[in-house]
Amino acid sequence: MTKYIVQGGTPLFGEVEISGAKNAAVAIIPAALLVDGVCRIENIPQISDVTLCLKILENLGANIRSMNRHTVEIDCRHIHSTRTNYDLARRIRASYYLIGALLGRFGQAEVAMPGGCNCGGVRPIDQHVKGFTTLGAKVTVEGGFIRAATETGRLKGANVYLDVVSVGATMNIMMAAVMAEGITVIESAAKEPHIVDLANFLNSMGANIRGAGTDTIKIHGVERLTGGSYAIIPDQIEAGTYMAAVAATGGQVLVKNIIPKHMDCITAKLVEMGVEVEENEDTLLVRRSGKLQRTNVKTLPYPGFPTDMQPQITAVLTLAEGTSLVTESVWSSRYRYVDELKRMGAKIQVDDKTAVVEGVEYLTGAPIQASDLRAGAALVIAALAAKGRSEITQVHYIERGYEDIVSKLQALGADIQSVEEPDINLEANVG
């Protein structure tokens, strides 16, 4: 079992390089299944979710070559199965993108029900299913698998209106529709940067997608995608997490390899809290020397404040002067980490979708446990800012989405170590 040992209370100084976007990579890699040729994908983050995605594709018959640490070539010309490995697919939330990709290319898919983080709430895929059915697929769930198939072997373009703005459904339907007969229009589409990134990837392979980044996406179906090269955008949430860490600990950090426009929603809130942010072409200089001020945060679809930054900003607000309100309007029950922050002395009351955060002078190190990816990042931030020693367990959640987080923080002066310990349960001697 891996755990992080953090001795908190040290301000962060230096530079940090942001990796490729996790939320883009876990869709773009499955999208390679649509390509009847070789695609070269650059700026891939080295995280466990990406490793799993590549393993699933390899299991389906894809030929994968690692060119370097952040570049792979994927050849999906010899896919021999449209049924994913059950154990691999159920370990990752993003496995649902395999349905859209396989269905779009082969007219059928069998994918294990997705897993990944346990955020405490229901993250349904009903909008995904609605999209696939509208395009002419029959979708059933049996034996732990989602099965989707067309009668003719090819989907038919149609108008798809999403009842709720869903990033996952928008991306999945895009993939399914790329080679459908005729034109598909997705209304009430999500607008996140990684949706634009997926559209740009598919277009670079020969697709015809217009309107990504707006609420209406139009897709003209093509006969085939032929291959090419593409570089994934930088990770908005990773960048935001390091910005939040500086806000919590104090110090000054240059956040490199970012698209500043993607950061506006996060930057604005940190500035409200008394953090200085200086914007350059592809960097942000983040500085905090004075006291943190209270603010209110409400998560919204892009360009609003991202739900994936809600736990991290809440961790920072525990140290702000005054009382802040955090409202989660995207995912239900995303406050499972709050009890862990309370162990450290945070004063937080949760009522349904709203957390009332009363700022305290300082947090105190404690044994704490990550429950999901972003909750884990919030606990790291709290531990870095706290007085004394914290031990963070269940860190495999954190490593699903943050490349080299320990070494990146160490380079900024943080006292954090990754430690391997025997699993007590496995070592137990009964009797």
Residue numbers annotated as active site: 117
Q: Which of 63, 74, 72, 117 is nearest to 94 (CA)?
A: 117
User: What's the DSSP call for residue 233?
Assistant: P
Three-class HEC string of 17-61:
ECCECHHHHHHHHHHHHHECCEEEEECCCCCHHHHHHHHHHHHHC
Rounded to the nearest 10 degrees, the angle between the axes of helix 48-60 and helix 22-31 is 0
Nearest to 117 by CA among 370, 393, 338: 370
**What whole-number distance in Å separates Cα of residue 390 and Cα of residue 367?**
5
Alpha carbons 264 and 288: distance in angstroms, whole number? 18
Q: Which parts of 69-155 are beta strand (E)?
A: 71-75, 108-112, 137-142, 145-150
177 three-class SS? helix
Tell how far CA 10 is from the center of its chain. 28
What φ, ψ does residue 73 adopt, rounded to 5°?
Answer: -110, 130
Burial group, residue 352, by CB count within 10 angstroms (0-12, 13-18, 19+): exposed
d(CA 177, CA 171): 10
